[in-house]
Structures are given as structure tokens and as C-alpha cells.
Structure 1
Amino acid sequence: MQLQKKKTGRPIYIVLLVLVSVIVIALFVLFGLFHIRQVDVIGNEYYSAEEIQKMVMSDSLSENSLYLTWKYSQPDAAADLTFLSAVDVTMVNPYHVQIKVYEKSIVGYLMYSGSMAYFDKDGVVIEISQEKREGIPAYSGVDISEPKVSELIPVADEKFRDDIISEAQMIQEILGQNGIQPREVHYDDKQQLILYFTNNRVMLGDNSYMEEKLSNLQSLMPQMEELSGTLHMEDYTAGTTTITFKKGEKGEEELLMNVNQPEGGNAEDVEESTETEEDSTDESENKSGYSEDSGTFSTDASGNDTYTDASGNVTNNMDQMYLGDDGQIISDGYGYIDPYTGAYILN
């Protein structure tokens, strides 16, 4: 009986030994052969390949190509990576993987306590960092409370926040996709928009006609490359045909830019356009019957300059307020509106 027990015990021992050997070999293959030694990152624009690799391969098992491929085949695998909308991992061979990322579009950042709160086109904060990312404009003049990742930018005035998001989308879609990116997007105390570029600033005013303003700005940018100053678009309307550009920090010289001018113009074209506008102004004034001689300038008893038009209307306003959107004397062919008094005077 004892001999029989020994004979039956040997096969069990051999089976266990074989089983352990198979497990050891399997683990060696699994963790040795499938150990990642080469990673290719594609699709990244804002984040470096090193940053992407570090965040995608964050846990200890992620150095295994089988595990990493399985992990990012799951629907919610990239949920914690707030700056990405999706991640695809492909095994090129057992030790070589390709990580393809789909970054969320960052449209700008707001400063808070020394950190930058980056937000996407929907106004959602996707990263809070002290690292400045190239090509992302700063949004200034906006008071915010403490930002939190995956939440909307914390602006108390909801309407103002909606305007910021809407305008950020248009700036990205109209300017950004054409390679034009302001270094700063600023809101003044009236919540009117100002774009700052390297040599120029653009006064966009309130959010009326914003899409048209940005579309025209995109076509005018080639003309502004050799200039330095301020483009005034605050009073832009549907009927606007020319926009004033003031050269220099104090606006020492004014140029008129034609909003219908083909893309690719230059500074010489702007100046030539300015001369043409001035000539057309003179012609328009002559056609309307208006000239400085149509009225009389004088000084009243207090020493103030006064102006009396051809109809006898008197004013102290010397700023020529009553002009059309194109800067011309308003005329219907039979008469004109005096630019000083606003009175209608027959030719």
C-alpha cells in the first residue's frame, strides 16, 4: 500500500511543476516581450510628446503594451484626461505602441493667483497650470473666482461669460484657423473688446456685428503687417466701407482702409487708398454743393469759435459730427446736410 502511494504522488508533482513552469514562461512573455520600449505620439498640438506619454501611461501596468491597448479601448478611458477628447493606442509590435490623441481646442486662458486657467471653445476649464503654452492668447480685464477643472470659467455675470465664450469661438474660427492669433484679448471697463497683436491693437467695441468685424479684420491683417498703430472698428455697421487706422501710439497719422480690399494688400495700397478716399471726399463735397465757404466762422463775445451755416443755423461744434458712415457729406442730390449744424440745405 505504501508503494502505491508513492507512485501516485509523482505524477501530481510533475503536473504541478509543469503548471508552474508554464505560468513562469507566460509571465516572462507577458511582462518581458510585451514591455513597451518605444512610444510614438501623434495628434498633439499644445502638449509635448513627453507630457502626453507621461499622462497616458500614468499607472504601473501601463508599460505593458497588451494592458495599455486594452485600457484605452474602453469608452471612458480618457475621462480623467480633461485636455483630451479621446485617446487611441495601437500596438505596432509587442514592445512598440503608437498613441494618437485628440486634444480639445484651447481658445485662451485667464489668470488667477499666478496660475493660468486654460479653457476650451465651450468655456470649460481644461487645465490649471503655471506653464505658458505657446500660441494661446491671454484674456484680460475679466474678474473671475477660483477656477476648477471641468467647470465653466467662473465669471459672475453670466451674460458677460456667454459673450466671452461666443467671441472666443469666433476669434478661433475666423482668425485662428487662418493663422492669425492675438497675443492678448482684453475687455475694458465697458466690456468692449480690444485685440492686441505684436505691433498693433484693434478696437472692436461691443459684440454687435462681431463676426463681420473679425472677417474684415482677417482680410485687413496683410495690410497691417508693415504698420504700427490702432485699427478702429468700434463704430462698424452693415454699411461700413472704410475703417480708420491711426498710425503710431498717439495716432499721429490716419489712414483709411477699404474693408472690401482683396486680401494680400500692403501698406502702400493703404496709403494709395487713403489718397483716393480723400479725392472722392472732395468730389462728393463739390457735388453736394458744400464747401467751407457755404458757412461763416466767427468768434463770439466769450472768445468761442462759432459757425453759421447757409441757412443761418449757429453752432459751437467744430468736429463735423454729421457725416455718413463713409465719412462723406450726406446728400440726396438736391441738397446736403451741413456737417457742423446738421441742417438740411438745398443746393
Structure 2
Amino acid sequence: MRASNYRKKLLISKKTKKMIWGALAAVILAGIIFFFAYFRVTSVELMGSTRYSDEEIKELALQGPFSDNSILAALLYAHKEVEDVPFVEGIHITRINHNTICISVKEKKAVGCIPYLDSYIYFDRNGVFIESSRTRDESIPYFDGIEVNQVIMNEKLPIKGTTILNTAVALATIFQKNDKVPDHIEFDSNYQISLVYGNITVMLGKDKYLEDKMNRALAILPKISGETGILHLENVTDSVKTITFEREVEEVTAENWNGGYDENGDYTGDGEYDEDGKHVGPKPMTELDYALANWHGGYDEEGDYTGEGEYDENWNYVGPKPTAESIAANGDWHGGYMEDGSYTGYGELDREGNYVGPNPNETSDDGSEDDEFS
């Protein structure tokens, strides 16, 4: 009998097939679980961000699918373009180990800003417009006096002449190097430069010897902290080093007078010394004190002295006795004085004899406001 040329086919039952496919699926599932568990991101390192917190950068960079897997995050988001995030150009993600990735932030480097319409325009060291924002970044120098008619993103600011832009960039570089950014920088119509640091204005003059002027200004500013005035460095050159501080002296009033001590250091209330023994003079008179001293009334219509009557001793009408309430009711109007210096309450001069007009706060007898145009 001749042997058959056909082998019997290996028969696999349906049950066996299910077991094989089940085992294969289990292996694949286990591999997937292992892949996502082993390469799960548990640590993130950040580089290059100076404007945003670590949490803000993480939220910005790790918001896509599979961004919590170190391999897929590095593959899918290696170079991520960023839109509508001020001063951030892009984000780069790399894998360090199986559960650690590094997020590198590429920032736009602004060196200064200028006002434009209702926004702030930020520019780089080449004068190129790189960002616009409605809020000001206090760490970036703000220049007042540089005007542009229009701006185009990623193009150089159309400032007339290159000198002023070069000056702005040079100043911005000095400020960032010394970490002493002023509140704002002003250019006048002749491009004279002044810097504002709180209550102190630093006058630099023209764009000459800027680095020398700034080095000297930054050395002096801590010594005059808390003062008010103008620091003049306009005339500083390589051979002239004259610097003056024009201190603004605050007028002493009853409100800011800090005296009250006598020569022995005892507080009397009317002594002419402060608590440190410095002579500050007698206490200035308030508006009420001055009005009372110059009000000559107190007599009634019969000529009898009552202390509250509205006539003087010669029966001249001088108005009611001034009170704290009547002075406060005058608001910013400091009139009420006559040409002879006496106080009546309705005189149109102030106590220095300056004409200030009729009291705008007066009301008629029925309580309605007087019409000053009647």
C-alpha cells in the first residue's frame, strides 16, 4: 500500500485558540501596563524660565495626551510651539531617565518697553518689537518719551533716527547688569535723559558717558534713600566729576510738624524741638488757628461782648466765629480773608493775600447751592 503524500493537518480546538489569544493579549496588556508604569513621569526638571513659576511651566508643557510618559513626552513634544504666552517663544522636552524629563523654556529677551495706545510694547536689544501686553513687567525698563506711529511684530521699532534707540538699549543693558531698574526713564524733547527712582529724579543729560554717570548714580542713591529731590549728573565727563543733589525741602505744616519738646528734652506740646533734640521751630498754625487769631468778632448787635457775636467792637459785621466744622466745610478753598488781613469767612482772599474768589462751597439760606454764574 502506497503512503499518502498529505500529512494530517494539526487540529487546534477553539478552546485552545482562545487560550492562546488570551495569553497573547495578557502579555501585550502587561507590556503596556509596564511601559506606562515604568516610564511614568515622576520628576520634572526645568531650565530657562525666569518669568513663570515651575507649576505654570509644567501646566503649559504637560497638557497633551501621553505627556505623563517620559518616552512619549520626549517624542511627541520635543519641540512645542507656544502661543498667547507672553515672552515665551517655545518649549523643548527631553528625557533624562525612565521617569524624569527636562523642560527647557526658550524666552524672548526683552530689554525695554514703551507705551503704545493702551498697551506696552516690548523690544529686544536690536530694537525689534517682540511682545505686547496690557500689563507692565516692572523688571523691564520703561521708557517714556519714545513715540512710534505704528508697530509690526518681529520688526524693528520705527523710531526716528537710531540714536535714541541705541541709547535706550545701552541704558537697559546697564540697568539689567546692575539690577537697578528705575520706575521709568524719560526722554524730553531734546532727548535729555532722566531716571525716576521713587521720589528721586536722576538727571543724566545727553547720551554721553552713560556708564560712568550710572556707576556714580548707583553708588549715591543708597545714601539719599528716603529723600526727595533731583540728583544732577548732566555735567559729568571723563574729566569733570561734579555731582549735586537738589534736595526738596517739605514745607512744615501743623500736620507734619514733629516738635513739642523743650530744650531739656521734656515734652510740653509747644516746645520747639523734636524728640531727637533737633530745633524745628514753633508749631505752625492750622487754618482754624489762623482764622481765629484774625477774627475780630464776638460782639452782638447791641454792642455787648458775648464771644460769639458776629460784630467787632465798632459794630462792623465780621461774620460768625470760625469753627473746625466751618473750616472743614470750605474744603480746598482757603479764602475768607479781607484786604486788611482780617477773617470774616466770606472774604475772597487767602491768608497770604492771594485772590481765591468767593467760597464755592457756600449754600443759600434754603440749603441749595449758589449758582456762581448768576
Determine if the TM-score, normalized by the shorter chain, exceeds 0.5.
yes
Secondary structure of the residue that 2:111 maps to in structure 1? Answer: strand
Secondary structure of the residue that 1:182 maps to in structure 2? Answer: coil
Are residue 112 (structure 1) and residue 102 (structure 2) matched?
no
Residue in 2 that maps onto 1:4: 9
Are residue 224 (structure 1) and residue 228 (structure 2) matched?
no
Letter of the 2:115 partner, please give it. M
Q: Deviations over 1:257-302 (max 9, x none)?
A: xxxxxxxxxxxxxxxxxxxxxxxxxxxxxxxxxxxxxxxxxxxxxx
1:193-208 aligned within 5 A: 193-208=193-208
Q: Any conservation in 1 of the 2:112–2:168 contact (CA below 8 Å)? A: no
CA distance in 2, matches of 1:118, 1:4: 79
CA distance in 2, matches of 1:59, 1:148: 32
Are residue 99 (structure 1) and residue 110 (structure 2) matched?
no
Are residue 49 (structure 1) and residue 54 (structure 2) matched?
yes
Q: Any conservation in 1 of the 2:235–2:242 contact (CA below 8 Å)? A: no
Percent identity over paired residues: 26
Are residue 123 (structure 1) and residue 112 (structure 2) matched?
no
1:29-44 aligned within 5 A: 29-36=34-41, 39-41=44-46, 44=49
Deviation, 1:15, is 6.2
Deviation, 1:230, is 0.9
Deviation, 1:217, is 1.6
Of 158, 171, 178, the match for 2:175 = 171
Deviation, 1:111, is 2.7
CA distance in 2, matches of 1:128, 1:44: 19
Secondary structure of the residue that 1:53 maps to in structure 2? Answer: helix
Larger Rg over CA atoms? 2
Letter of the 1:136 partner, please give it. I
CA distance in 2, matches of 1:38, 1:207: 50
1:1-347 aligned within 5 A: 4=9, 6-7=11-12, 17-36=22-41, 39-41=44-46, 44-57=49-62, 59-70=64-75, 83=88, 89=94, 91=96, 94=99, 96-99=100-103, 101=105, 103=107, 105-173=109-177, 175-176=178-179, 180-248=180-248
CA distance in 1, matches of 2:115, 2:135: 12
Letter of the 2:117 partner, please give it. S
Q: Deviations over 1:212-256 (max 9, x none)?
A: 211222222222224321112223222112212111189xxxxxx
CA distance in 1, matches of 2:26, 2:150: 57
Q: Deviations over 1:60-79 (max 9, x none)?
A: 3433322334467x6x6678
Q: Any conservation in 1 of the 2:112–2:140 contact (CA below 8 Å)? A: yes
Q: Which moved more, 1:141-150 or 1:183-192?
A: 141-150
Secondary structure of the residue that 2:216 maps to in structure 1? Answer: helix
CA distance in 2, matches of 1:50, 1:67: 21
Greater share of residues in helix: 1
Question: Which runs of 5 or more structure 1 residues have no equivalent in the other structure?
Answer: 251-347
Q: Which moved more, 1:198-207 or 1:32-41?
A: 32-41
CA distance in 1, matches of 2:150, 2:28: 53
Deviation, 1:114, is 2.5
Deviation, 1:161, is 2.5
Secondary structure of the residue that 1:44 maps to in structure 2? Answer: coil
The aligned length equals 243
CA distance in 2, matches of 1:102, 1:249: 49
Q: Deviations over 1:198-224 (max 9, x none)?
A: 121111122111122112222222222
Letter of the 1:99 partner, please give it. I
Q: Any conservation in 2 of the 1:146–1:154 contact (CA below 8 Å)? A: yes
TM-score with structure 2 setting the length: 0.52
Q: Any conservation in 2 of the 1:46–1:134 contact (CA below 8 Å)? A: no
Letter of the 1:109 partner, please give it. C
Secondary structure of the residue that 2:174 maps to in structure 1? Answer: helix
CA distance in 1, matches of 2:37, 2:130: 36
Q: Which has the higher contact order (CA 8 A, sep 6+)?
A: 1
Secondary structure of the residue that 1:201 maps to in structure 2? Answer: strand
Q: Any conservation in 2 of the 1:46–1:133 contact (CA below 8 Å)? A: no
Q: Any conservation in 2 of the 1:83–1:126 contact (CA below 8 Å)? A: no
Q: Deviations over 1:50-107 (max 9, x none)?
A: 33223333543433322334467x6x6678786368756454652x545354655443
- Shift of the 79–46 alpha-carbon distance from structure 1 to 2, 3 Å rule, reads closer
Deviation, 1:139, is 1.8
CA distance in 1, matches of 2:128, 2:68: 31
Secondary structure of the residue that 2:67 maps to in structure 1? Answer: helix
TM-score with structure 1 setting the length: 0.56
CA distance in 2, matches of 1:144, 1:249: 38
RMSD: 3.9
